[in-house]
């Protein structure tokens, strides 16, 4: 395992001599880490929870996706380091961001107005990303508690096969006293292609859109795969997805 303290800026960080407050971390409180494939809905619970964690995303070959890494139920978080793995033949890592690419979501480590030493995310070997970050100084008043996004990862999808996984290999949290914590709960994520064939006849057609509309009005029970866009709701957005697929097939 790659140790965060072996990385230059973090070794310097923990070599500092500075005063520490008396605030302590409850090491008996479970912590977690999750991959969220839709950070637009990020009203996370402070404790470990699947609320607003979308562990599945629908994406076709050539599409670019952004996965958010969510620290859950942390206490006095000062430093984090994690390894995330994927199949490099099926997914290509493009880049990583400390804050969201659209500038709307700030890194959780900055929650209490703290400054970071320098976010790092490197694909050191194909299919493995090493991510690390730390607060400048060791001020427990700046170290956040609760849950929030600690990294954003951008990928390009390389095939249309199912079960294209993003998985945690290891995660470590350190508090302001240098106490190392390994999360008790890890939630991986998966990318699947769109399945628009709602009538299960092997082709995507307007019949699939009609079947979903009938499901919405209660005329049909549906097939169980009517949630085309993977948002957890069977609705008009799924009909729109099918219509787009029909148009693409006939172009």
In this structure, is residue 161 part of a structural domain?
A: yes
Q: What is the reported pLDDT for 71?
A: 95
Q: For residues 129 and 127, what is the distance between their CA atoms, to the nearest angstrom?
A: 7
Q: How does residue 169 score in pLDDT terms, banded at 50, 70 and 90? A: very high
Of 2-6, 141-145, 191-195, 239-243, the one with minimum mean pLDDT is: 2-6
Residues 133 and 215 in one domain: no
Q: Is residue 217 part of a domain?
A: yes
Which is more confident, 118 or 166? Answer: 166
pTM of the model: 0.72
Q: Residues with Cβ < 8 Å from 27, sequence gap 6 or more?
A: 179, 181
Report the CATH number at residue 37.
2.60.40.680
Q: Are 80 and 186 part of one and the same domain?
A: yes
Given a cut of 90, whether residue 137 has pLDDT beyond it is no
Residue 116 in any domain: the answer is yes
Q: Note whether 60 and 153 are same-domain residues.
A: yes
DSSP line for 105-128: S--GGGTTS--BS--EEEEEETTE
More confident residue, 104 or 203: 104
pLDDT surpasses 90 at 36:
yes
66/187 same-domain check: yes
Q: Which domain holds residue 137?
A: 4-192
Domain boundary among 168, 192, 216: 192
pLDDT digits (tens, 9 = 90+) for 53-87: 889 898 888 999 999 999 999 999 999 999 999 99
Are residues 229 and 163 part of one domain? no
Tell me, yes or no, whether 200 lies in a domain: no
Which residues, other chains included, contact 214 with Cβ-Cβ below 8 Å and sequence gap of 6+?
220
Tally of domains in the chain: 2
Residue 102 shares a structural domain with residue 221: no
Residue 235 is assigned to a structural domain of this protein: yes
Q: What digits encode the pLDDT tens for the residues 4-26?
A: 444 454 555 545 433 333 334 45
Mean pLDDT, range 227-242, rounded to an integer: 56
Higher per-residue confidence, 147 vs 218: 147
- Whether residues 157 and 214 share a domain: the answer is no
The answer to whether residue 76 is domain-embedded is yes
């Amino acid at each position: 395992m790659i140790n965060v303290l072996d990385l230059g800026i973090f070794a310097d960080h923990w070599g500092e001599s500075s005063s520490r407050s008396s605030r302590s971390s409850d090491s008996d409180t479970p912590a977690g880490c999750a991959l969220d494939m839709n950070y637009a809905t990020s009203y996370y619970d402070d404790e470990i929870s699947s609320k607003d964690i979308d562990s599945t995303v629908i994406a076709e070959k050539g599409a670019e996706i952004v996965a958010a890494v969510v620290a859950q139920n942390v206490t006095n978080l000062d430093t984090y380091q994690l390894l995330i793995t994927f199949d490099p033949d099926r997914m290509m890592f493009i880049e990583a961001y400390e804050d969201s690419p659209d500038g709307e979501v700030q890194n959780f480590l900055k929650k209490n107005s703290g400054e970071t030493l320098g976010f790092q995310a490197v694909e050191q070997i194909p299919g493995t990303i090493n991510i690390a970050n730390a607060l400048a100084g060791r001020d427990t008043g700046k170290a956040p508690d609760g849950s929030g996004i600690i990294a954003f990862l951008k990928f390009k999808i390389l095939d249309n096969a199912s079960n294209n996984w993003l998985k945690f290999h290891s995660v470590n949290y350190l508090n302001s006293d240098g106490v190392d914590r390994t999360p008790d709960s890890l939630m991986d994520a998966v990318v699947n292609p769109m399945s628009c064939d709602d009538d299960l006849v092997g082709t995507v057609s307007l019949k699939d859109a009609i079947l979903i509309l009938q499901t919405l009005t209660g005329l049909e029970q549906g097939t169980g795969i009517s949630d085309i866009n993977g948002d957890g709701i069977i609705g008009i957005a799924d009909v729109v997805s099918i219509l787009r697929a029909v148009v693409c097939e006939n172009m």
